[in-house]
Structure 1
Amino acid sequence: MKYKSVFDIIGPVMIGPSSSHTAGAARIGRVARSLFGRQPKWANISFYGSFAKTYKGHGTDVAIVGGLLDYDTFDERIKTSMSIAESLDIKITFQIEEAITDHPNTAKVMIGDDDGELELVGISIGGGKIEITQLNGFDLGLSGNHPALLVVHDDRYGAIAAVANILAKFTINIGHMEVSRKEKGKQALMTIEVDQNIDDAVIAELSALPHITQVTKIVD
């Protein structure tokens, strides 16, 4: 594995004890919260592999709930996130799964309220870094370390080019982009990581494009 800086080796500023089991879990939860766009009323969290075996000792449970409350890895409130969630009437349940996954530090997060639900699978790859590998049944590779756009769209000719043209109009550079679809000609998901934060004007223009169903931004 290549590291861009010494901070990739040391890990993030965080509430301990583990960059992979604590900071990584907090970031998975926070990305789920960001994508959902609001505080959920309930959360069903499943742990796999190493997460399932050590989540209590490493604080993976309180960290991922802290992320769902929109706390960063260094936020002291992570330590009491379970009691804070209870005070906010957020129902939290945990499940230990025995299924073998591609990565040992895997969590599935399902959150929702009266207006909708979200399902996300994330992995903690070390040093506080994560990848989101599934979102609502779509396969993707989202790091959560850069500003990003998630664009749900009809699988139609020209949809990807239209999105790229608007990003070029606003001089937004694409660092990474991939497209996932469940079935040809149906719904698809663009995952676009960019080099700068995205203004609401960009979201508005993207949302107005033909064949675009939903546009969500993730702020770094």
Structure 2
Amino acid sequence: MTAQLPYADIREIFTRFREEQAEPKGELDHVNAFTLLVAVALSAQATDKGVNRATRALFEIADTPEKMLALGEEGVTEHIKTIGLFRNKARNVIKLSRQLIEEFDGEVPSSRAALESLPGVGRKTANVVLNMWFRHPAQAVDTHIFRVGNRTGLAPGKDVVAVERAIEDHVPAEFQQHAHHWLILHGRYVCLARKPGCPDCLISDLCGFEEKTLPEAPKPKRARKALQPPKEPA
């Protein structure tokens, strides 16, 4: 675990993130709060691209709790069977749809406690919905953010809750709304798990990671054979 970076360095890092991409967006397709909630719940142990492929047709016919409940568990299963743990996820989607209708008048609630009371919805899913739909500065810590927070020293912590608290405590308020999206995208496309892209990283000079990767050495060029004039006939 890298030591916590100084406040000035953290401010500079997020200033650069903002200059690079002022309005970072989540990569899960959705049309309303309900479809966002379902998409995030389905994304556990699955890629965003895989979830988007699975939900494209599903959300065209079931974009409300009532429509999802009418579709039924088998109908949901048929749409999402290409993603991991699809049977359990389909069951939870039906259960949370029923609970939204019975307890929240079919509306997605805007409190973490209420969201976490729904089947298949944990703290990370709740925070994503709070941040993306309700514009709360909630920090949804996934594996990418956990890695980037600890590797760089931006938000070190022994578990996801500790990293979440570190982001809340050390990232300047003006960056809180988009902090988790910047960190997710940085972890997904630059600060990779096995081989971080340090040579192309816009914050490498501020990052506290001691084992930075070096630029790859250029591959040696093959010696080209000189063109030979055709031999004269004997």
Both proteins in one fold, TM over 0.5: no
Q: TM-score scaled to structure 2, two decimals?
A: 0.32
Q: TM-score scaled to structure 1, two decimals?
A: 0.34
Larger CA Rg, structure 1 vs 2? 2
Higher strand share: 1
